């Protein structure tokens, strides 16, 4: 655990007692503060009280009279689409608002670091898509190279739940826009921006607010190295803002769509080959095409970002190449479930927005596409013209018929996962890929995208077991 510093003897309010909230309360207590907790859910309050924490209704008048700061869990909107009443009460009382990410960055470095031969480092990754794969891949590379690495944030453990990093240790964080938008301290040593596409727009009051939340990781923190995906205008703009000139190698530009040139530091993938250029010269080249855990252009972009981060941490190209070959992939992200009769089954339940689904569709040549769910703001117009690899769509979800009508490919309304997998299997020919890439949220039928992916896996395995008794 990372004990929170700076609040010893003070009362700190914690709003939201889910995974990160309870960990935050424990870390505050470990640092000598008194955590005053609140959650609308009585069961969550009961758990906190069982651990000896005081629970106080923070919506009542005078609740913030003795509070030093308010820590808000990331799932709670603090400003848009409407300001949370507890946050509003804190601001009215003049109480600062922060989150566990801010507490982590102000607390992770200790005086003990003065005795280390090599300072620990923090790598933070944000963006719309590919964050989880990028951090998991970097963590895998570091572990394979024998480096101490801990994975935390929006994946794995909560940031305050990890062990204090030891001499030369690396902390790899996945940070969502919900986490970067509110943190009062953001000081990673290496910051990574994967890409940007419309998502969570209601939470950020539009695309500009969404980009601004991501940009804070770089503008507020001033990382030693910034690795920026420049395949979208926002990424190119961000790289330009951070760079002092074309040869400034503190900014590493990354692309999965074109060759990059110039006197700076670039890492790009083209036709399945990753290349690193510095000062106009090629430093290394790797073949990504045969790595089963990284199919498709979007995963090649993730590989470029993880490669660049590993290079900033002192790893050699050959070390990284060897580690990439053993990367197993993440559950629910281009996850190969099995193959029978020449038909592959791939679970990409994490493809909850249109951009991530489009990228998944570009990774395979002939697809039986299982899609549908709770549509996000903006509809499905961006899918038009992006479904050339799709032989047929099999639509799930409570509004499957409406979803299917918006697609520009043959679509069958299946509603349930069981029916969708069965129909896709019946239609599939050798060489086809049955792909779950929903292009929608899961909450109309499932608690989360993981549960939806597990349902797909269960149906696929039932089919595979019947084919191979």
Binding site residues, as ranges? Answer: 127-133
Q: What would the DSSP string read from start to end of 291-344?
A: -TTS-HHHHHHHHHHHHHHHHHTT--HHHHHHHHTT---BTTBSEEEEEETTEE
Decide if 223 contacts 215 (C-beta within 8 A): no
Q: Which two tokens stand for residue 294?
A: 């990284």
Determine if residue 409 is left, alpha or beta; phi over 0 gives left, psi from -120 to 50 gives alpha, anything else beta. beta
Query: Which residues define the annotated binding site for ATP?
Result: 127-133
Non-local CB neighbours of 415 within 8 Å, separated by 6+ positions:
395, 396, 397, 398, 400
**Dihedral over Cα of 42, 155, 251, 199: its sign:** negative
Decide if 386 contacts 363 (C-beta within 8 A): no
| CA nearest neighbour of 23 among 63, 74, 81, 60 | 74
Burial zone of 82 (CB within 10 Å; 0-12 exposed, 13-18 middle, 19+ buried):
exposed
Q: First CA to last CA across the chain, in angstroms?
A: 47
172 forms beta bridges with 123, 151
Decide if 74 contacts 102 (C-beta within 8 A): no
Determine if residue 40 is left, alpha or beta; phi over 0 gives left, psi from -120 to 50 gives alpha, anything else beta. alpha
Distance CA 341, CA 338 (A): 10
Decide if 354 contacts 381 (C-beta within 8 A): no
SS (H, E, C) 52-88: CCEECCCCCCCCCCCCCEEEECCCCCCCCCCCCHHHH
153 forms beta bridges with 174
């Amino acid at each position: 655990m990372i004990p929170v510093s700076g609040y010893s003897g003070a009362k700190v309010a914690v709003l939201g007692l889910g995974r990160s909230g309870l960990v935050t309360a424990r870390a505050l207590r470990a640092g000598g503060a008194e955590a005053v907790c609140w959650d609308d859910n009585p069961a969550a309050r009961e758990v906190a009280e069982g651990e000896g924490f005081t629970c106080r209704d923070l919506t009542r008048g005078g609740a913030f009279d003795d509070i030093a700061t308010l820590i808000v869990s990331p799932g709670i909107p603090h400003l848009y689409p409407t300001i949370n009443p507890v946050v509003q009460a804190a601001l009215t009382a003049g109480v600062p608002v922060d989150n566990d990410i801010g507490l982590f960055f102000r607390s992770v470095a200790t005086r003990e670091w003065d005795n280390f031969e090599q300072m620990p480092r923090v790598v933070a990754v944000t963006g719309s898509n590919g964050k989880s794969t990028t951090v998991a891949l970097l963590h895998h590379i570091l572990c394979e190279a024998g480096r101490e690495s801990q994975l935390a944030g929006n994946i794995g453990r909560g940031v305050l739940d990890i062990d204090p990093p030891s001499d030369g240790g690396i902390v790899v964080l996945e940070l969502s826009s919900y986490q970067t938008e509110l943190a009062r301290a953001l000081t990673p040593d290496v910051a990574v921006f994967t890409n940007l596409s419309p998502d969570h727009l209601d939470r950020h009051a539009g695309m500009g607010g969404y980009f601004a939340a991501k940009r804070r990781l770089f503008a507020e923190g001033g990382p030693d190295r910034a690795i920026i995906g420049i395949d979208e205008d926002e990424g190119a703009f961000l790289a330009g803002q951070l760079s002092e000139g074309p040869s400034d190698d503190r900014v590493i530009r990354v692309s999965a769509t074109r060759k990059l040139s110039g006197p700076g530091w670039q890492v790009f993938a083209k036709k399945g080959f990753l290349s690193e250029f510095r000062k106009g010269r090629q430093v290394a080249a790797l073949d990504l095409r045969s790595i089963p855990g990284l199919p498709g252009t979007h995963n090649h972009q993730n590989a470029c970002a993880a490669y660049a981060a590993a290079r900033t941490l002192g790893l050699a190209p050959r070390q990284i190449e060897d580690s990439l070959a053993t990367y197993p992939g993440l559950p629910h992200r281009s996850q190969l479930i099995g193959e029978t009769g020449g038909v592959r089954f791939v679970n990409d339940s994490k493809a909850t927005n249109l951009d991530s689904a489009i990228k998944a569709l570009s990774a395979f040549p002939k697809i039986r596409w299982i899609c549908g769910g709770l549509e996000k703001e903006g509809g499905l117009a961006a899918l038009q013209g992006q479904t050339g690899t799709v032989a047929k769509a099999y639509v799930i979800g409570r509004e499957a018929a409406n979803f299917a009508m918006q697609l520009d490919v043959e679509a069958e309304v299946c509603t349930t996962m069981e029916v969708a997998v069965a129909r896709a299997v019946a239609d599939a020919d050798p060489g086809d890929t049955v792909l779950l890439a929903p292009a929608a949220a899961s909450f109309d039928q499932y608690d989360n995208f993981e549960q939806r992916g597990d349902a797909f896996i269960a149906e696929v395995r039932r089919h595979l077991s019947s084919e191979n008794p």
